[in-house]
Amino acid sequence: MGSEEETKKKNEVFDAEAASLFVKELRGTFASGKTKSYGWRVSQLKSLMKMLNEREPDIVDALRQDLDKPELESSIYEVALLKTSIKSALKELKHWMTPEKAKTSITTFPSSAEIVPEPFGVVLIISPWNYPFLLSLDPVVGAIAAGNALVLKPSEVAPASSSLLAKLVGEYMDLSSIRVVEGAVAETSALLDQKWDKICYTGNSRVARIVMAAAAKHLTPVLLELGGKSPVVFDSGINLKVACRRMIMGKWGCNNGQACISPDHIITTKDYAPKLLESLKNELENFYGKNPLESKDLSRIVNSNHFARLSKLLDDDKVSGKIVHGGERDKNKLRIAPTLLLDVPRDSLIMSEEIFGPLLPILTVDKIEDSFDIINSGTKPLAAYLFTNNKKLKQQFVETVSAGGLVINDTAVHLAVHSLPFGGVQESGMGAYHGKFSFDVFSHKKAVLSRGFIGDVPVRYPPYTKGKLRL
Ligand code: NAD
């Protein structure tokens, strides 16, 4: 049986044996040097771009099936952002691949030094369901640009997107170097049993621990893109209307709160809370109407498990009576309206885990500075946001709050700025990507020092006489 046929058959039951066969084939391709060439990298990035240009309607359709994601959101966050990544990689690739000259030391004089980026080899990319195209293909762009062969494992929780990704990669990409394996825990476990040269995992921190333990067996480096409870601090004295609109877009305008950098909760002062609440309610109604369960501009909850999880947060006894806006649910249509809760206890369920949905608690403090202590008392979030006009408060925020990224006077938009690294810290992740950082995270930076034969100083050689020590 030929190797391609063999692979096809094995993929019907994707176990560790099938996974090992996949990796073996990809290792063969990588060893041939094919993926290292500038030409291959460019051709694959261009194929990816062609795929997005030609198949955007199919992508929008798959996202409708999986999440009822509004077309505009799909076009901007899943397709246009990817195109920007590819364009920047195509434009900068030569420069990124060029070895970087480094300074040398007097101890090696005369010599020259450079840092040569080289691909890790064969990498595994495991992606989640919420932005199934962006979060699958954006790491793929980095892995290709850096010259790696790869396997992509999309999430089974977004089945239409996963199956379309497998189909499109089969049609557009070089299958000797880039493969998609569909599946859930069993298939991912079979993949994780293999030796990889880098693993990129995007998802929750429980599974990240499984991924890291599997990687540790082979000392495989990991890029972990996780989540957390990203807070938004509202100071007074701001343009409240603009602030609320920007906050709403980062929360409900991003997959109805099912986004890793979605605002998880608000912190404001007791005095300012009523004004803020009023403005939020007005803008929510302006955006999504009086009956948001019917709005075409909000994604639905991905499945009944996540609907039940979010319902449990709302039904917790500790938050009964705390809903000040929204709260409507439709179990059959998997819809939950944008919901605001005021002054929920810090030990309630909703404040104990990442919400990842359309619910938004508002916590109040006496002084706005106290909000930074609340943030720093929890695990480090993927993002933290502050709305303020106060320069001192802004400086204090940047100096004292630790999170993957900070945004002042907006939410979630840092994701689109490719000159900034995107990633978490501690519980919210490890490593970062986007733009040049994507190339770097999938490359080993090889230190190369080069010398000639002149300038050989005898003092370094034995015998180590006392006279040499005095030099
Ligand atoms: P998910 O359920 O789709 O899981 C992610 C991936 O892990 C999937 O491919 C899945 O098959 C795999 N997986 C699940 N259980 C596994 C197991 N036991 N062993 C091996 N693999 C397994 O997605 P999710 O975790 O629900 O995603 C939501 C989380 O991801 C949130 O915490 C969110 O904040 C985070 N997230 C982070 C980013 C980021 O860029 N930092 C982006 C999106 C989501």
Q: Which of 260, 425, 437 to mutate to test the pocket of ligand 1 (most atoms within 8 A of CB)?
A: 260
Q: pLDDT tens-digit profile of 163-204?
A: 999 999 999 999 999 999 999 999 999 999 999 999 999 999
Q: What is the pTM of this model?
A: 0.96
Q: Which atom of ligand 1 is nearest to the CA of 128?
A: 3
List pLDDT tens digits, range 214-234. 999 999 999 999 999 999 999
Backbone phi, psi, residue 271, to 5°: -65, -35
Q: Which residues contact 84 (CB under 8 A, 6 or more apart)?
A: 416, 418
Instruction: Identify the residue whose C-alpha is closest to ligand 1 atom 18.
Output: 185
Site residues for ligand 1, CB cut-off 6 Å: 126-130, 135, 153, 155-157, 184-185, 188-189, 202-204, 207, 210, 225-227, 260, 354, 356, 382, 424, 429
Token pair, residue 166, equals 């497998």
Q: Say which of 25, 187, 225, 354 is annotated catalytic.
A: 225
- Residue 6 pLDDT more than 60? no
Rounded to the nearest whole angstrom, what is the distance from the C-alpha of residue 207 to the centroid of ligand 1? Answer: 7
Closest CA to 289 of 326, 341, 259: 326
pLDDT at 455: 83
> Nearest to residue 381, comparing CAs of 333, 427, 437?
427
Give CA–CA dist 36/398, Å, rounded: 40
Distance CA 139, CA 124 (A): 10
Q: Whose CA is nearest to atom 3 of ligand 1?
A: 128
pLDDT at site 1:
41
Q: Whose CA is nearest to atom 14 of ligand 1?
A: 185
225 is catalytic: yes
Distance 202 CA to ligand 1 centre (A): 6
Q: Whose CA is nearest to atom 9 of ligand 1?
A: 155
Neighbours of 452 (CB within 10 A): 9
Own/partner contacts of 72-81, CB < 8 Å, gap of 24 or more, are: 72/297, 73/253, 73/254, 73/255, 73/299, 77/131, 77/134, 77/254, 77/255, 78/131, 78/132, 78/133, 78/134, 79/52, 79/133, 81/134, 81/138, 81/415, 81/416
pLDDT at 133 over 80: yes
**pLDDT for res 10:** 47
Closest to 436 (Cα-Cα) out of 85, 48, 76, 41: 85
In angstroms, what CA-CA distances link 216 with 222, 256, 342, 425, 427? Answer: 9, 36, 43, 19, 18
Summary mean pLDDT of the chain: 96
Distance from the alpha carbon of residue 157 to the mean position of ligand 1, in angstroms: 9
Residue with CA nearest ligand 1 atom 16: 185
How is residue 199 annotated by DSSP? E
Distance CA 288, CA 325 (A): 13
Structure tokens at 212: 């890291």
**CA of residue 272 to ligand 1 center, whole Å:** 36
Among candidate residues 260, 283, 354, 427, the one labeled active-site is 260
How far, in Å, is the centroid of ligand 1 from the Cα of 30?
28
